[in-house]
Chain A
């Protein structure tokens, strides 16, 4: 799974984070290193769709983001879909 939007949403599901924290977190849990351009491309799209939003911060230029309710729903749908695909694939592999 390398879809940057899904990775960003999954990262924010565990709490608010700024760009660098997301980058580190995603690398840790998915083993995927998102480049700065890819990460901010995803952030821009997700904010535009209302799936994430910036939150007040005291960390200066490091702007944290939070996942919105709609974003959480979307992430749930996506993960449920992926889960179905994974379980089907695993089951078929076992039966093969």
Chain B
């Protein structure tokens, strides 16, 4: 244990070690030390490093470390791009709703997505280490369908919705979204007659080629890092300050 403690003494500032190092070492030799003393020495070194900094510098230092750590994490986080396409389906009635639900089920079925994954050679790393079903589930999580309003459409007699696909490569994201869009169109042709529906599916906005990654949002990462660092710094500086000696009565 004394070995660890002697190592921890190296964490003290060089100036301090030059002044007190020998006598501190003598104390470690003489005293019967416990595991708690290891933390005591570590904490002492930390305080000694921070003491000349003061409250403001500790807080600013921790904030800077927070931002840098967040930046490092954001650069390590996987990048993904979102390709979007917008569909309109007319008329906006119950039969169209049923047709769209059926088409969606077909397009997002395990069989359909398996074909898309194989055709576009998606998720090569995941396919190498995961069962294929898990890869399909992963793809399902990367496909988003949600209703939207299309300002240019100006037609209340239609459903408008977005099909979005997220992937690490912007061009592949667009190609797969084109594939999904094609499957929606084709599915509509096949399914609509089954429901005796005259659903018309249009694609006013073709699958986009994303130019910037949707995540990680580095600004948000930096903001979170700054906030976390600031909070840690304030806590740390307060703890350091509160553990300094207290005085009762007048100071000299």
- Per-residue CB proximity of B118-136 to A under 8 Å, as 1/0? 0000000000000000000
Q: What is the total number of residues of chain A having a CB less than 8 Å from a CB of chain B?
A: 33
Interface residue range, chain B: 20 to 34
| CA gap between A42 and B27 in the complex, in Å | 14
Q: State which residues 55-82 of A face B: CB under 8 Å.
A: 60-63, 70, 73-74, 77-78, 80-82
A53 at the interface (CB under 8 A from B): no
User: Knowing A3-B245, A19-B27, A20-B30 touch, does A77 contact B37 (C-beta < 8 A)?
Assistant: no
| CA gap between A60 and B25 in the complex, in Å | 12
- Per-residue CB proximity of A26-52 to B under 8 Å, as 1/0? 000000000111111111110000000
Question: Do the beta carbons of B33 and A36 come within 8 Å of each other?
Answer: yes
Q: Main secondary structure on chain B at its contact with chain A?
A: helix
A5 at the interface (CB under 8 A from B): yes
Pull 30 A–B residue pairs with CB atoms less than 8 Å apart, ordered by A: A4-B245, A18-B26, A18-B27, A19-B24, A19-B26, A19-B27, A20-B27, A20-B31, A35-B36, A35-B39, A35-B40, A36-B5, A36-B37, A37-B40, A37-B43, A37-B47, A40-B27, A40-B44, A41-B44, A45-B244, A61-B22, A61-B25, A62-B30, A63-B23, A63-B26, A77-B249, A78-B248, A80-B249, A82-B248, A85-B248
B: residues with CB less than 8 A from A are 5, 16, 20, 22-28, 30-31, 33, 36-37, 39-45, 47-48, 244-252
